[in-house]
Amino acid sequence: MDILVIGAGIVGVSTAIWLQRAGHDVTLMDRTGPAAGASHGNAGVLASGAVLPLTVPGLLTKAPGMLLDPDQPLFLKWRYLPRLVPFLARYLRHGNEAQVQRASRALTELLHDSPEQHLALAADTPAAEFIKTGSYLFGYADKAAFDADAYGWNIRRQRGFEFRELTAGQLEEHDPALGHRFGYGVDCPGHGQITDPGAYVTALADHFVAQGGKLLISSLRNLDVQNGRVVAALTDAGRITADQFVLTIGAWSGPLTHKLGISVPLETERGYHVEFLDPSITLKSPIMVAAGKFVASSMKGRLRCAGIVEFGGLLDPPSRPPVDLLKRQVARLFPDLTYSGTVEWMGHRPATSDSMPVIGRTPKAENVFVGYGHQHVGLTGGPKTGRWLAQMITGQRVNTDLSAYSPDRPG
C-alpha cells in the first residue's frame, strides 16, 4: 500500500518505520521536520510506571489554589478560560476512582514495556545509542511528603510496578550528586532514558529515509473525504493521494479529527523546559522532583529540567512565570550548580479529557487512523502506539484490547 503518515514526532516516526518494515511504501510528512515539537522538548524519561492519570480524586478542590499560587506548577492564561471551560468540565469529571482505575489499566498496557519497545524500534539503527535503560528516581523532602503521595504509589503497586523506598543516605549512595538534596526517595527500576530526545527521533527518521522512505516537509490544510474514505490530503505541496492515511499531529489534531467523527475533547498542555549548558552537575538517573513536579535529567552537555502544566492554547507565545518558576526551583535544589548558559523551550502536549490517548481507525473515514493524546507520556508510549497502528493498518492481529483508546469513545 501507499501510506501517508502526517506528523513526524515519535508516534509518527514509529508508525512509519513499522509500516516500512511490513513492506509498504510510506511517506512521512511534517510541517517543520522530525522531532520539532514535544518529541524534542520532553524530559527524555521512558516512564513505564507513569500510569496515574492527572485527574485523580481531590483535584477539583486543589486546582483553584494551585492556579493562584505562583510557586505551584499549574498555570492558566486567564483570557483563554472561556474557551477552556467546556474541556475542563469534562476533564475534572474524570477525577473519580472508577476512571482512575480504567485509565491506569489502559496506560499500563501501553507503557509497561517501554524500554523494550524502544530497543525493538531502534534495533540496528544509529538511534539505538541514545537509549539508556535503568532507574527513574523520585526525590521527596522527607518521608511525610512521600506518604502524602501514597495514592499514586498504591496505584502503581496494583499495576505490578516495583519500586524501592530510599533514605537520604541510600539516595546519595545511588548517585552522589543527589547528596543532601532530598530527605527521602524512590527508585523505580525497569525504566529508561533517551539521552537526547530530539536527536533520537531525528536519527530514527533518517533511518526511515535511508531505507527508502520519503520525508516531505509541508503543512496539511485539509482532507478530502468522499463516501466514507479520504481520497487525498490537501497540503502546501499539493494534493497527495494514498491508500491509507495516518494522523499523528498531537495537540493540533482537534479540528481534523472532529471532522472525522472523533468527539474526545482535546486540549494543549503547554510544557516548559530550561536547559543548563556545560553544567557542573551530572545525574546518574533522571529524577522527578516531587515538590516541584519537574524532572531533572542529564543529557549530552546539558542538564534539562522539564515540567509545568499551562493551559493557554496553541497560538500564544511562551509565558515568563512558568520559566521563572522552573529556574527558582532548580536554584533551590542545586544552589551549587554552575553553567555557561541556558536554553528555554515551550511545547504542546496533547491532553484528552479522560487522560488516555486516541489510537485507531476514525469513525467517518475507514482508511484514516490516528495516534495522539499521550499527554506526558508521548515519548514513553510512542513506539508501541506506532506498532499497534501499523498492525491495524496492515490487517495483523493486535493481541491487546484497544477499546480504551478507541476514537469513537465519548471521552
What CATH number is given to the structural domain containing 396? 3.50.50.60
Number of domains composing the chain: 1
SS3 call for 84: helix
Cross-strand bridge partners of residue 4: 27, 245
What is the torsional sign of CA 64, 65, 68, 74?
A: negative
| b/e burial code for range 141-165 (CB count within 10 A of at least 16 → b) | eeeeebeeeeebbebbeebebebee
As given in the structure block, the three cell numbers for residue 164 are 524501592
User: Per residue of the chain (411 residues), what is the pLDDT tens digit?
Assistant: 999 999 999 999 999 999 999 999 999 999 999 999 999 999 999 999 999 998 888 877 887 887 878 888 899 999 999 999 999 999 999 999 999 999 999 999 999 999 999 999 999 999 999 999 999 999 999 999 999 999 999 999 999 999 999 999 999 999 999 999 999 999 999 999 999 999 999 999 999 999 999 999 999 999 999 999 999 999 999 999 999 999 999 999 999 999 999 999 999 999 999 999 999 999 999 999 999 999 999 999 999 999 999 999 999 999 999 999 999 999 999 999 999 999 999 999 999 999 999 999 999 999 999 999 999 999 999 999 999 999 999 999 999 999 999 999 987
Cα of 115 vs its chain's centroid, Å: 15
Contact 305, 326 (CB under 8 A): yes
Is residue 61 domain-resident?
Answer: yes
Is residue 411 domain-resident?
Answer: no
Is residue 138 domain-resident?
Answer: yes
Q: Which of 396, 400, 350, 355 is nearest to 370 (CA)?
A: 350
Q: Return the DSSP state at 338.
A: -
Is residue 142 domain-resident?
Answer: yes
Cα of 42 vs its chain's centroid, Å: 7
Cross-strand bridge partners of residue 165: 186
SS3 call for 42: coil
Contact 264, 407 (CB under 8 A): yes
SS3 call for 340: coil
Question: What pLDDT score was predicted for residue 68?
Answer: 76
Is residue 240 domain-resident?
Answer: yes
As given in the structure block, the three cell numbers for residue 19 are 509500516
Contact 207, 34 (CB under 8 A): no
Is residue 235 domain-resident?
Answer: yes
Residues of the domain holding 177: 2-405
Distance CA 192, CA 17 (A): 21
Q: Which of 224, 396, 294, 297 is nearest to 73 (CA)?
A: 294
As given in the structure block, the three cell numbers for residue 79 are 483570557
Is residue 410 domain-resident?
Answer: no
Contact 327, 274 (CB under 8 A): yes
As given in the structure block, the three cell numbers for residue 268 are 494543549
Question: What pLDDT score was predicted for residue 144?
Answer: 98
Is residue 226 domain-resident?
Answer: yes
Distance CA 226, CA 249 (A): 22
